[in-house]
Amino acid sequence: MTKVLMIAFMMVFTQNYVLVQFLAICPFLGVSQKFDSCIGMSGAVIFVMTLASAVTWLIYTYVMVPLGLDYLSTIIFILVIAALVQFVEIFLKKFIKPLYNALGVYLPLITTNCAVLAVTLLNISEKYNLLESCVDGFSAGVGFGLALILFCGVRKALERAKPPKSWAGLPITLVAAALTSMTFMGFTGIADKLFG
Amino acid sequence: MKQKNSKWKILTNGIFKENPVLILLLGCCSVLAISVTVSGALGMGVAMTFVLVCSNVVISLLRKVIPDKIRIPCFIVVIATFVTLVQMVVQAFLPALYDALGIFLPLIVVNCIVLGRAEMFASKNGVLDSLLDGIGMGLGYTLVIVCIAVVRELIGSGTFYGIRIIPEGYQIGIITQTPGGFFMFGAAMALLIYCLGKKGRHFDPRIGCDGKCGNCGFNCENREDNIKLYENQAALEAAAAADEKEGSAV
Amino acid sequence: MSPVLIAVLILSAIGLVCALVLVLASKFMAVPVDEKFPAIRACLPGANCGACGYAGCDGYANALAAGEEEKTNKCIAGGQEVAKAVAETMGLAFEAVVEVNAFVHCRGDCLNTQKRTEFQGARSCAAAKLLFGSDGACHYGCIGYGDCASVCPENAINIINGIAHINDIRCMGCGACARTCPQGIIEVLPKEFEVAVSCSNHDRGPAVKKACAVGCIACTLCAKKCPAGAITMVNNLPEIDHDKCTGCGTCASVCPQKVILFGNKV
């Protein structure tokens, strides 16, 4: 139980996918301008990451390991993720229309989101069991959402700033991202204290 | 002669005019993460170029065969094959590099540059052009990541390719960590904008400007001109539309 | 079996299973589409501006196809051509679209009024309004942080000298700005209206003059002098009955604060 909680805490704070591990930067910079798209993107990412973690873990443990095919993990995982995202889109459109209206636009973008493939590969390399993998996927998504929403607020405040001419636009946004990620470094000490 | 010029153009396109990292803003994740050491950056650049070139060539060869509806999964499979190949080779022969690259080596599969060039270029052009484009883009990417790595390694760890240059105790450690990565990338972009100078400041998406001066907080010097430009444009469009109507009525 | 063969077989098997699942899903979970809907939807411009009152062009097309909506002239962004096309597709008579533009009922820019407080929050009108009802001297007027400009799909709004100015040529009358303005002072008016009131201040007399140099002081001269009796004072602001208005412009000439605009709107 402690391990599960620790994984969750780690993924959201100390090993935050965007602000500590440099994953999913493209959507982080691209989507964080409007608050509504932040919420939509985060929801979609959490959804896909949890599902993908579960499905890829099952395929890895019950199909690939017995047949000695773990070197094919990159190809098979990305294939499964792409098919899964497509399937989820069709499923939502038919059965959960409101959810499709909220998240549907972002689902195709998530296939090539490096964070999703990364979380599935990291589950394997950290040798988590099924529950831990799902929690890992879910928390990584939550961490991504947290970073995205925080940064949306930072960007809104940036609009009033008057940086030097060459720094206007993307460069000053990246500096703001640097400072935001510095704040997350502070969480490292908490993890050690909380979980021994 | 014209042929040769256009081939050269395709090659240099990826290095300067449409540099994948600084202009097209693709593949930022790996640039930010791997530019900590020069050796790592070089290794990543070479791996990326290899995958780019191979996947571009194969996809260009298969472009007439792959059906349009399933082209993205097909591209991904081709790219993933080459990435797995590179993964295995690096793991076997360069274990230090393998550790340095970590999760970002298999992540080349979903790197926006590789998939983007496959979709934009290789699926629509011939094999030689795709090959040259792959080399160009790969070189452009390597150039940027190595340059950032040189600065980051020098300031952050005081070394260059492992050779100590600045004595220990005088380095700024945070540069090698995450915040430093973001900051250095921002600085690189600012430098690029400064070098590109005044040309193209109107409606320049690279500086985050999309021409909507209406509520822009930046108060750039072009604001008044841009607003006038927009309003003039609107008047000209309306006049042109009115002329067209009259012309068709007559 | 050789490892290469196993690898190829398993990879192909997984690919086939994925493909099969997707094909089955797209067949059995397909959402049925109404026949008329694509034809009607094709007539609409796809701007999704919401001026028709529905959630995007899909919403309007769905309502028309289902027979819930009978008016074919609701698409303001598309204009007369779209109204004609929709009417033809549905087999109904053509009704002309009423051409509209947005209008900001405020002329209190930096030259006419001043800020009461220094607002340091997020650069948004809605945010400024939450804090003691905006940072301007006039509580009712345009706050000037551009919430309207950021939602305008045509980039027709510019913030000049601290208030919103609408470019009449670019404005297509979708009403997004009117819905967004937290002060509620943007209104979508038919282009044919010649008279408009450029103030939203409900106070009167000296209080208004203190807040803004061009605010309506509710002197009621316009209402008294209007030859057609088209103006009534409601909440210290003139309300013009456009059915009665003859477009003579008397109200504009007698207004001491130059609040009523006649002819070319600002």
Rounded Cα distance between A45 and A17, Å, is: 12
**Does C154 lie in the same domain as C105?**
yes
Q: Please report how many Cα atoms fall inside a 13 Å half-sphere around the Cα of residue C204, on the Cβ side.
A: 9
In a domain, C55, yes or no: yes
Rounded Cα distance between B60 and A79, Å, is: 21
**Does C149 lie in the same domain as C185?**
yes
Find the mean pLDDT for residues A62-83: 87
- pLDDT > 90 in chain A, percent: 22
pLDDT score, position B53: 93
- Rg (Cα) of chain A, in Å, rounded? 18
**Does B206 lie in the same domain as B191?**
no
Closest by CA to A32, choosing from A19, A21, A14, is A19
Which domain range does residue C48 map to? 36-90
**Does B162 lie in the same domain as B58?**
yes
In a domain, A38, yes or no: yes
Q: Which residues of chain C are modeled with pLDDT < 70?
A: 1, 33-34, 264-266
Could you give phi then psi for residue C96, rounded to 5 degrees? -70, 145
Residue C241 CA from chain centroid, whole number? 22
Closest by CA to C174, choosing from C85, C263, C94, C99, is C99
Q: Please report how many Cα atoms fall inside a 13 Å half-sphere around the Cα of residue B87, on the Cβ side.
A: 20
Average pLDDT over chain A reads: 85
pLDDT score, position B215: 45
Question: Does residue A105 sit at the B interface (CB-CB below 8 Å)?
Answer: no
Q: How confident is the model over C137-171, as pLDDT tens digits? A: 888 999 988 888 888 887 888 888 888 888 888 88
Domain count, chain B: 2
Q: Which residue of C has its CA nearest to A73?
A: C11
Beta carbons of B230 and C160 less than 8 Å apart: no
Beta-strand ranges (E) seen in chain C are 100-104, 157-160, 163-166, 186-190, 195-197, 231-234, 237-240, 260-262
**Does C109 lie in the same domain as C84?**
no
pTM given for the model: 0.70
**Does C164 lie in the same domain as C84?**
no
**Does B149 lie in the same domain as B91?**
yes
Which domain range does residue B33 map to? 2-196
**Does C56 lie in the same domain as C116?**
no
Q: Is the pLDDT of residue A186 over 90?
A: no
Name all chains with 3 or more CB-CB pairs below 8 Å to chain A.
B, C
Q: Which two tokens stand for residue C71?
A: 């008016």
The residues facing C115 across adjacent strands are: C136
pLDDT score, position A55: 92
In a domain, C187, yes or no: yes
Give the number of other CB atoms < 10 A from CB of residue C216.
Answer: 26
Name all chains with 3 or more CB-CB pairs below 8 Å to chain B.
A, C
**Does B240 lie in the same domain as B145?**
no
- Top pLDDT among C113 and A160 is at C113
Which domain range does residue A54 map to? 13-188
**Does B154 lie in the same domain as B90?**
yes
Domain count, chain C: 2
pLDDT score, position B203: 45
Closest by CA to B134, choosing from B78, B35, B58, B24, is B58
pLDDT score, position B204: 46
Residues of C with CB under 8 A from a CB of B: 15, 123, 145-147, 149-150, 152, 155-160, 167, 169-170
Q: Which of residues 163-192 of A touch B (CB under 8 A)?
A: 165-175, 177-179, 181-182, 185
**Does B184 lie in the same domain as B224?**
no
In a domain, A4, yes or no: no
On whether the CB atoms of residues B30 and B44 are closer than 8 A, the answer is: yes
Q: Which residue of C has its CA nearest to A79?
A: C15
Q: Which residue of B has its CA nearest to C125?
A: B215
Contacts of B155 (CB under 8 A, 6+ apart): B171, B172, B175
pLDDT score, position B148: 92
Domain count, chain A: 1
pLDDT score, position B218: 43
Q: Is the pLDDT of residue A91 over 50?
A: yes
Chain C residue numbers with beta carbons less than 8 Å from the beta carbon of A82 are: 18
Contacts of C156 (CB under 8 A, 6+ apart): B234, C102, C166, C167, C170, C171, C172
pLDDT score, position B199: 47
Q: Which residues of chain B are modeled with pLDDT < 50?
A: 199-208, 215-219
In a domain, C153, yes or no: yes
pLDDT score, position C40: 82
On whether the CB atoms of residues C176 and C193 are closer than 8 A, the answer is: no
**Does C120 lie in the same domain as C53?**
no
Q: What is the distance in angstroms between the Cα of A91 and the nearest Cα belonging to chain B?
A: 19
Cα pseudo-dihedral A83, A84, A88, A91, rounded to 10: 70
Contacts of B243 (CB under 8 A, 6+ apart): none
Closest by CA to B203, choosing from B212, B194, B195, is B212
pLDDT score, position C66: 77
Chain B residue numbers with beta carbons less than 8 Å from the beta carbon of C15 are: 77
The sign of the CA dihedral C220, C222, C226, C232 is negative
**Does B168 lie in the same domain as B112?**
yes
Q: Helix A73-95 crosses helix C3-28 at what angle (to 10 degrees)? A: 10
Rounded Cα distance between C112 and C103, Å, is: 19
Cα pseudo-dihedral B193, B198, B199, B202, rounded to 10: 90
pLDDT score, position B149: 92
**Does B135 lie in the same domain as B64?**
yes
Q: Is the pLDDT of residue A165 over 50?
A: yes
